Amino acid sequence: MLSVVLASILDLFHPEILFSNPLVLATTAFQLWMGIDALRRREYLWAAFIVIGWGLSAVLYFFMVYRVAGPVGGGLQGFELPGAGNRRRIKELQARIHHLDHARHHLDLADVYFAQGKLGPAEASYRESLKRDPTDIDAIAHLGQCLLRQQRVAEAKPLLEQALRENDHHDYGHTLMALAEVQTALGDTAAARKSWEKVLTRNSYARARVQLAELYVAAGDRDRARQELTEALADDAHVPVFQRNRDKVWMRRARKALAAL
């Protein structure tokens, strides 16, 4: 019985069937796409399931991993804002802006663009939001983050500081992390270390641990650097898949820095 089933499966991959049946061809192409994506994410167990469970496993992977984490290398890896978006969300927000033109809709649209790495449209939408509500702390902070990602650190600094004066834990520490990166870029490493340490009193972000460790290394404090890097790598084993995918850039930096110590 097993040999009959295996023979039937192998028959599906016969060239005459593979290239003459559009459904088989499409399924095979989809499976290759998901398999390659799993390998790029180092999701080796998923990759094995995709090979073994022809068709079905690829569909499960698409909804459980790919749809959650997005394409490999898409957007700003390691620099997410709380929340995300997609094309349907963009169309919905553009329609709301056309009919209502509320500041919040411009802000939400900007956040979607930011998540996709489209910094020019994001900046324009943040500024449109602030035209309608200049006091919105989220728009102020997110515009600061957007400017930071465009390497315009001097412009980003006062915006981030303004948001943090109102809420020192704004966006669950993401705004303070952005300020720490601005401080580092401007050469104020002492202030940056304090900012990173403050972030880590409430959160254990890999982004914070790795960059703080790099500052410790620069200051000659190898033991504290090693501790932060070790904790970052240990935490990575216990985070959800979508967060692990976002943090891969920090894990690579952590391993590289730890190997150099």
* Structural domain includes residue 117: no
3-state secondary structure of 80: coil
CA distance 184 to 258: 20
- Of the pLDDT bands very low, low, confident and very high (cuts 50, 70, 90), residue 54 is low
**Model confidence at 171: pLDDT above 80:** yes
CA distance 21 to 261: 56
**Model confidence at 74: pLDDT above 70:** no
* Structural domain includes residue 116: no
* Structural domain includes residue 30: yes
Domain that holds residue 253: 204-261
Other CB atoms within 10 Å distance of the CB of residue 189:
15
* Structural domain includes residue 118: no
Cβ–Cβ < 8 Å for 200, 212: yes
Residue 132 has a pLDDT of 92
CA distance 130 to 174: 20
* Structural domain includes residue 242: yes
- Percent of the chain scoring above 90 in pLDDT: 49
Final residue of a structural domain among 39, 69, 99 = 69
- Percent of the chain scoring above 70 in pLDDT: 77
Residue 118 has a pLDDT of 86
Q: In the chain, how many domains are there?
A: 2
Largest distance between two CA atoms of the chain: 72
CA distance 207 to 90: 28
Residue 19 has a pLDDT of 52
Q: Closest by alpha carbon to 227, among 236, 237, 217, 218?
A: 217
* Structural domain includes residue 237: yes
What is the helix (H) or strand (E) element at residue 37, kind and residue range? helix 22-40
Q: Which of 69-78, 128-137, 235-244 ranks highest by mean pLDDT?
A: 128-137
CA distance 129 to 104: 7
CA distance 230 to 249: 16
pLDDT in tens, 82-134: 544 455 666 677 777 767 788 888 898 899 888 888 899 999 999 999 999 99
Q: Scanning the structure block, which residue is given the tokens 């915006």?
A: 159
Final residue of a structural domain among 38, 69, 100 = 69
Mean pLDDT, range 139-164, rounded to an integer: 96
Name, in order, each residue with C-beta under 8 angstroms of 178's C-beta and a sequence gap of 6 or more: 141, 144, 145, 148, 156, 160
**Model confidence at 42: pLDDT above 80:** no
Q: Which two tokens stand for residue 24?
A: 């088989």
Residue 98 has a pLDDT of 64
**DSSP-H helix ranges across 41-187:** 44-52, 56-61, 67-69, 87-99, 103-115, 119-132, 137-149, 153-166, 174-185
Name, in order, each residue with C-beta under 8 angstroms of 149's C-beta and a sequence gap of 6 or more: 76, 79, 114, 119
* Structural domain includes residue 136: no
**Model confidence at 5: pLDDT above 60:** no
pLDDT in tens, 21-36: 566 667 777 777 777 8
Side chain identity, residue 190: A
Residue 178 has a pLDDT of 97
Q: Which two tokens stand for residue 188?
A: 């104020």
Final residue of a structural domain among 69, 95, 114 = 69
Kindly report which listed range (162-166, 210-214, 220-224, 243-247) carries the lowest average pLDDT score.
243-247
Residue 81 has what DSSP assignment? P
**Model confidence at 154: pLDDT above 60:** yes
Q: Whole-model pTM above 0.75?
A: no
Kindly report which listed range (3-17, 42-56, 158-172) carries the lowest average pLDDT score.
3-17
* Structural domain includes residue 62: yes
